[in-house]
Every structure is written in structure tokens, then in C-alpha cells.
Amino acid sequence: MALVPTMGALHEGHLALMREARRRAHTVVTSIFVNPTQFAPTDDFARYPRDLQGDLAKCASVGVDLVFAPLDASVLYPAGDETRVLVPLTARHLEGEFRPHHFEGVATICMKLFQLITPEVAVFGRKDYQQLQVIARMVKDLLLPIEVVGLHTIREADGLALSSRNAYLSFSERTRARVIPNGLRAAVDAYEMGERDTDALSRIARTVIERGTTAIDYVTCAHPQSVVPHPRGTTLGEGDHALLAVAARVGNTRLIDNVVLGEERGPLIFATEAP
Ligand code: AMP
């Protein structure tokens, strides 16, 4: 059985994970749950988009066998709930710096879902790259018999990564948001041309991203497995891959995206469907 955990408001990125799950297992389960413990009080939990009927139709269209969509959080967080799963090192940097308890909530809900649904395979998107590494670390450390699969990011034709939060963007914000994939692509191009200085690679992306965003939380070059940022002055070895991750606001909407330099060949894949 393969599990695809989601928070709903499903788009082609989610459906690509479900198709991959379909390829890997006889039975595909999707969970739809807007998990309160991964949101800070100032986050968008209350207004996060919810569309269960539309989501169920989309799940059916890609052959999902079972949807687990608890309507009440008490199903997963019984009265008095206090247990949390911590993956402190992998969760520390990047998103962890700006959303301090976010990955604690993510790891805890995934552990609960794994425990309830007992999948052999769990499929995640590399759009949330650090999340994928946190879950992979947790599965390894807790000796869970689960294969964690990470699927590449599905993008709009202009490169913007699909996200449920894109629904918050006004027309003009949606246009401006293109600077995020464009900045990442500029860094990929520089890497392909031989640039190996991680400060320069981050700066190249940041310069483009600054043109359309309201505020940047980070544009950081990090180790692709540990997700630890490279110290200033780092030069990558010839064959070294590096994660280049960004979090930025367009208007009030916070968007994240990333590429793995050395893995992305040429321009970013702007496919709307998994190859
Ligand atoms: P969410 O509903 O945002 O919690 O996401 C559920 C799963 O879908 C996570 O594993 C995400 O990484 C993945 N996902 C979200 N957006 C995309 C995308 N554009 N491409 C691929 N996977 C995605």
C-alpha cells in the first residue's frame, strides 16, 4: 500500500504523487487533513483552502482507492494529546528558522498517519524539500518499514511551482511570482556554466527574486541531504550537488521553492505532469 499525505486543495502536483503511488503499489491511500500543529498562530490555518468534494473527484480521477479525510482534528489528536516527534538537526535551518515548530507538527502527523495506515511506501514532493528530508530521517531513525519516495516539483508553464497557496495570489501577484522560478533558473544556468561559489549562486538567484517579491526570508545554498546551509565562502566540488532553497513573500503570500544544482539539467522542467 502506498500513502500520499496531503492537506487537500489538490492540484496537479498532488495528482502526480498519486500517479506515482499508483505505479508503486496495488492500493493507494491519500490523506487529506489540514494539520493544525504545523501552523503557527500567525499562519494561515483558518483560511487555508479547503475543497473536500473537489478533492475526492480528483482522487478518483487518478485511481486512488481510499481517502482518509478526518473531519475533526480530535481523530488524530485525542483529548490531552501531548506527544511530539522531533527531528532537530534536519529541521533546524531554512524553514525551521522561520517556522520554529513547523516540522515538529509535520513529523508528528506523518508518524500518526504511518501508524494508522501502515503503508509500505509514502510519496512526497520535492517542492517541500526539507520536509521530505525530515520524514526520510524520521523513518530511518525510528526503523519504520516504509520506503520514502520524493518526486520532482510540478510547475506551471511559466515555471511557478504548483501550490495550494497560489490560490491566494491576485492576478498581478501571480505574474510577479515568476521571479522565484526565474531566479532559481538563473542559478541553475550559472552552475551549468561552471559557477561553484555558493555565495555567488545564492546571490544570482536573490537578485532576480528581489525584483518581484515583497520580502525574502531566505535564498540559501545547502547540503542536499542534511539541509545544513553551506558556510560563507564555500566552493562546491566539481561533481557536488547543492540544494538552493528559497522562501519569499509576494504580497502577503509566502511561497517556497527549490532546485538541486547538479541534478537539474538545463532549464527547469516546466512540465505540468510527471514524465
Ligand atoms: P501539501 O498538501 O501542500 O501538504 O502537500 C502534500 C504533498 O504534495 C507534499 O509531499 C508536497 O511536497 C507535495 N507537493 C505540493 N506541491 C507540489 C508540486 N508542485 N509538485 C510536486 N509535489 C508537490
Residue range 196-246, pLDDT digits in tens: 999 999 999 999 999 999 999 999 999 999 999 999 999 999 889 999 999
Residue 154 Cβ contacting ligand 1 at under 6 Å: yes
Using CA positions, which residue lies closest to atom 10 of ligand 1? Answer: 124
Task: Please report, as a single letter, which amino acid is at residue 90.
Answer: T
**Widest pairwise Cα distance in the chain:** 56
Give 8 Cα–ligand 1 centroid separation in angstroms: 10
List C-alpha distances in Å: 247 to 15, 102, 209, 218.
Answer: 24, 14, 10, 5
Nearest ligand 1 atom, CA 126 = 12
Residue 124 Cβ contacting ligand 1 at under 6 Å: yes
Residue 153 Cβ contacting ligand 1 at under 6 Å: yes
What pLDDT is stored for residue 264 in this prediction? Answer: 63
Low-confidence ranges of the chain (pLDDT < 50): 266-275
Residue 133 Cβ contacting ligand 1 at under 6 Å: no
pLDDT in tens, 111-131: 999 999 999 999 999 999 999
What pLDDT is stored for residue 239 in this prediction? Answer: 85
What pLDDT is stored for residue 224 in this prediction? Answer: 94
3-state SS assignment for residue 191: helix
Task: Please report, as a single letter, which amino acid is at residue 119.
Answer: P
Q: Tell me how long the chain is.
A: 275
Give 128 Cα–ligand 1 centroid separation in angstroms: 7
Nearest ligand 1 atom, CA 14 = 8
What pLDDT is stored for residue 104 in this prediction? Answer: 98
Is position 14 annotated as part of the catalytic site? yes
Q: Rounded distance, CA 241 to CA 236, Å?
A: 8
What pLDDT is stored for residue 268 in this prediction? Answer: 45
Whole-prediction pTM value?
A: 0.95
